[in-house]
Amino acid sequence: MSTRPWIVDDDLWALIEPLLPPWPESAPGPRPVDDRLCLQGILYVLHNDIAWQLLPLECGFGSGQTCRRRLERWQKAGVFEQLHRILLAELNASGELDWSRACVDGSHIRAKKRGSRHRSVAGRPAEDRQQTPPDLRRTRHPLKVITTAANVNDVTQTLALVDGIPPVAGRPGRPRRRPDSLLGDKAYDSNPNREELRKRRILPVISRKGAPNIKGLGKLRYVVEQTFALLHQFKRLAVRWERRTELHDAFVSLACGLICWRRLKKAP
């Protein structure tokens, strides 16, 4: 990783720039700060977890309020979700996505007043078709991440996560958005959910409460734990500072895109 991970390289900017909404020509006030510089200011906050007002002005990012407002504007326009979908399609086209299984889990994060929780459904790279031991050097792909209150039961979010997976193009035929199987621990034990997953042609591989764990399930589910580890490497996501959920979700979507971008750069 670069010593300055907030610097946006030309290849990544070529993907992001067409997604940004144009600035209104008739907007009053001075000329706005360049979009690329604002994005680098947002990435600076994402990586270093500093308050917006402490963003170093000497870097040319503009003020913290400028970057925060640009983040809000881009989130409303769906920029980061589109970026994530494009990069998933690139990974799919290069054979880096394997749809045979996906894993679901939750991870607690601290918040200023009340606890929050990231819930993720993550896929695995195509070359990981064999049951390999955990290897933190290899990136797993976040397919969908949502944020809820910490006291929300895991099982209530299963279908929301699955249905939230975006359609992923990159291969001949219709874009794909359903894994062949979904792996989860006992927190996701629910017969109604199993029935709904089967209706979606997804095989539920979920341990039942009061029964022994499915043999070997832990060795298959490590990908989602690694996905959380990758997300929480972005220091801004380790603690939820934003009072408004949409700003926190903007950071999460951007981080998912960056994880996929790193994987794509390492792909053969």
Q: Which residues make beta-bridge pairs with 195?
A: none
Position 135 scores a pLDDT of: 37
pLDDT at 267 exceeding the cut of 90: no
- Work out the pLDDT band at 134, boundaries 50, 70, 90: very low
Which is nearest to 69 in space by CA: 249, 254, 247, 243?
247
Write the pLDDT tens digit of every residue in 183-240.
Answer: 888 888 899 999 999 999 999 988 888 776 666 666 667 777 788 888 888 988 887 7
Question: Average of pLDDT values for 127-150?
Answer: 58
* CA gap 48, 45 in Å, rounded: 5
Question: Average of pLDDT values for 100-111?
Answer: 81
* CA gap 172, 97 in Å, rounded: 14
pLDDT at 114 exceeding the cut of 70: no
State whether residue 134 is helix, strand or coil.
coil
- Work out the pLDDT band at 38, boundaries 50, 70, 90: very high
Is residue 220 within 8 Å of 244, Cβ to Cβ? no
Position 119 scores a pLDDT of: 62
Q: Identify the helix (H) or strand (E) that includes residue 144.
A: strand 141-149
Which is nearest to 157 in space by CA: 118, 130, 195?
118
Percent of the chain surpassing pLDDT 90: 36
Position 43 scores a pLDDT of: 95
* In the chain, where the domains are located: 10-76, 97-241
Is residue 118 within 8 Å of 234, Cβ to Cβ? no
Question: Average of pLDDT values for 10-17?
Answer: 95
* CA gap 235, 227 in Å, rounded: 14
| 97-241 CATH | 3.30.420
Label residue 135 exposed, middle or buried (CB < 10 Å: 0-12, 13-18, 19+).
exposed
